[in-house]
Chain A
Amino acid sequence: MNEFIEPFERMIETIATPALVRAVEHGMDAASLWDVVAASGFLDALVPEDRGGAGLSPAQVHPLWLALGRHAVPLPIGETMIARYLLAMAGADLPDGPIFLAEARTGAECVISGGLLARHALVEADGALHLVETASMAPAPTGVNGSLAARVSWSGPTRAAIGAAPAGGLRSLGAILNAARIAGAAARLTGMATAYANERIQFGKPIGRQQALQQTLAVMAEDMVAARIASQLGCAGGLPPSPAAAATAKSVASAAAARITATAHAVFGAIGISEEHDLQLFTRRLHEWRLADGAETFWNRRLGALRLAVEMGSVDFVRAWQDAGQDSSL
């Protein structure tokens, strides 16, 4: 644990209470909340020190991203951290306000997590990065209840690109962010489900005393820990992450997200389906983060293609990207 997590989490607790998360989801202007985040300096956590940032590594930022998931934070804080890092590295000006990330094809619509709240978008198109005002992409609600994701479209660049896209694309960066948020929310859900299982009495005893439920919750804990370690692996190298690191992180976290939400709802029963219960603040986000930047099959295909292209044993392949001093091309 590093010294940044405590002040960060204190700040998150003030701007992302369940009541505020609901208010933002119902259309409250989030500008005043964003001002708190901007004033904290955390948005420049990844920006190098010589460019005015804190110069933290992804591994140091990982606990902050976990906290975003643990508190169901609706603002695109992680995306903005990544965007400001990329803009700073490209020597571009850093705009105020939230920024979302999008890999876009000209003329095609896509859904962007947190897109309704962002003032700017950092768009990757044809291998180049473009910073545009969100309004130019005609952001529209998806029509999904409570969702702050936006449906956007890209009609091609109107100005020169600010630089080349990072290796592996913006999706690789979004993948390690979303893997970490999944892991954070998974930890919260595992804690909530376990506490509830110890409180809820049926058949004269807490439902957590039933072996069937104990076994299910044990599997939930396994998925939760696997997602956390996977997301740590994603953040263990530099930026951008290696293709295998991003793929491993997002594949394992996304697959776990689906099972963890299912188990959480199964434990809570009908009350967990209700709007007034906080459970849905986390489970809806887990599903959104699972799909964002590619779910398990997208990343499994990429990782599998990498694996099939090299003649080595599976353990050596894993060592090659996991262990220090090994092949960084994987």
Chain B
Amino acid sequence: MTLAALPAADEAIRPAIRALIERAIAGTPADIRARSWLGFDAAFSRELGAAGFLGLTLPKRYGGGERGAFARFIVVEELLSAGAPVAAHWITERQTAPLILNFGTEAQRNRYLPGICRGELIFCIGMSEPGSGSDLASVRTRAERTGSGWRVNGQKIWTTNAQHSDHMIALLRTSGSAEDRHAGLSQMIIDLKAPGVTVRPIVDLTGGAHFCEVFFEDVELPADALIGREGEGWKQVTAELAFERSGPERIYSSVVLLDAWIRHLQASGRADPATAALVGDFTARMGVLRAMSIACTAQLAAGESPAVEAALVKDLGTSLEQQLPIAIGDDLAAHPDEPVDAELYRTLMYVTHIAPSFSLRGGTREILRGIIARGMGLR
């Protein structure tokens, strides 16, 4: 991993995406913008698609922008630093699109990718199950062959945005049992409107409902629901998670709070050495994480799959994201005579409460460190 610069040709995309975001979020308070990843706004995602900001890494023949990983980095950086509501396209565009491009048939690519690039088709990712969290290879939800395709029975849980999604990419067992681990797993595209599918949102500790339980009871799938090769699901999921872990999204989850706090400090005229040191610590670490994230992006752009590097950036990045609300809370509470406005307070407490999820989604801290240790030759 080495320092890389964002190409000027890709940088040229920034003013247009920034202008679009500014129009969309004008007047949105910080505590709503802080939801970014979880802020669902289908109209906004379609607007991004219409303006050509989705599917930037995909070929033009599937509706993509054919611009590559750097252009996508810039768009994502702008969306996250502003706190734009990205949930309606987030997972679909980041993970599902490259998955279908890399492992799908030509028919599947033509069927799904143009709608994803327009911001119209929403996918969710069905990985976790009640008995399979970090130990993903133990999934039990099963797809059995029928005369015309597959029949699915089982349950997924913690599936983000399933209640808003058209389809799920589900990791299913197509042969063997949970004891067979990585063998016998496949990925299937499931139409969530199919008979036998029940989606039940789960209310979270912030009062929102972004993840769901999804039940499958004799759900009939056509033969072409299989994506990639039967039994190769584990390999495909691993490649997919590298996309999930390597982007700038793993460093900017708390940036709306950071900016709101800094505006508070500026308005309060507080710039003593201790305060400046805290601001400087966050700023320095964010600067290095950004450079590391761009270095990862350069590896993606070069056609590599930087799985270990992505795990490293995500663990460091989520550590900063999680320390921000704790340290900012301590700082504000250490100055009780300094009034904290209602918006900053709500932003602080929202991020404080949701922050533990930052090092759960996309692989827990312990799993990521295990991946790094394997990369070091320790496992």
Contact = CB atoms under 8 A, between A and B. Distances in A.
B262 to A, nearest CB: 7
Given A214-B370, A322-B290, A301 B280 contact: yes
B259 interface: yes
Contacts of B183: none
Contacts of B315: 218-219, 222
A308 B277 contact: no
A52 B295 CA distance: 35
A211 B287 CA distance: 31
B175 to A, nearest CB: 31
A57 interface: no
Given A218-B373, A308-B265, A252 B8 contact: no
A221 B376 contact: yes
A67 B280 CA distance: 28
A233 interface: yes
Given A297-B277, A314-B81, A214 B373 contact: yes
Given A198-B378, A218-B373, A251 B281 contact: yes
Q: Interface on chain A toward B: helix, strand, loop, or mixed SS?
A: helix
A322 B287 contact: yes
A219 B280 contact: no
A314 B257 CA distance: 10
Nearest to B311: A218
A225 B276 contact: no
* Residues of B in contact with A, size category: 35 or more
Contacts of B278: 300, 304
Interface residues of A, number: 53
Contacts of A222: 312, 315-316, 372
Given A198-B377, A218-B373, A308 B286 contact: no
A172 to B, nearest CB: 14
Contact of B286 (A217, A255, A314, A324): A314
B283 A225 contact: no
A299 B1 CA distance: 25
A313 interface: yes
A323 B281 CA distance: 20
Contact of A315 (B77, B281, B291, B373): B77
Contacts of A211: 370
A304 B275 contact: yes
A25 B169 CA distance: 62
B334 interface: no
Contact of B288 (A252, A313, A317): A252
User: What does DSSP make chain B's interface, helix, strand, loop or mixed?
Assistant: helix
Contacts of B277: 297, 300-301, 304
Interface string B303-330: 0000001001001100000000000000
B34 interface: no
A219 B373 CA distance: 9
A315 B252 contact: yes
Contacts of A321: 287
Of residues A198, A229, A255, A313, which shows the largest number of chain B Cβ atoms within 10 Å of its Cβ? Answer: A229
Contacts, number: 167
A213 B376 CA distance: 12
B54 interface: no
Contacts of B309: 225
Interface in B22-44: none
A314 B1 CA distance: 24
Given A229-B291, A323-B5, A308 B279 contact: yes
Most buried by B among A215, A218, A316, A325: A218
B151 interface: no
Interface string A276-306: 0000000000000000000011011111111
Interface in A192-247: 194, 197-198, 208-209, 211, 213-215, 217-219, 221-222, 225-226, 229-230, 232-233, 236, 244, 247
A318 interface: yes
Contacts of B280: 247, 251, 299-307
A214 B377 CA distance: 10
A329 to B, nearest CB: 16
Contact of A313 (B81, B373, B377, B378): B81
B335 interface: no
A251 B278 CA distance: 12
Interface string B249-276: 0001001001100110110000101011
A3 interface: no
Nearest to B366: A215
**A194, A225, A309: most-surrounded residue (chain B CB, <10 A):** A225
Given A304-B276, A308-B265, A314-B259, A323 B6 contact: yes
A248 interface: yes
A314 B255 contact: yes
Given A219-B369, A229-B288, A303 B283 contact: yes
B1 A225 contact: yes
Closest 8 CB pairs of A and B: A304-B280, A304-B276, A300-B280, A304-B279, A303-B280, A214-B373, A218-B369, A315-B81
12 contacts: A221-B312, A232-B291, A251-B284, A299-B280, A300-B277, A302-B280, A303-B279, A304-B275, A308-B265, A308-B275, A313-B82, A313-B255
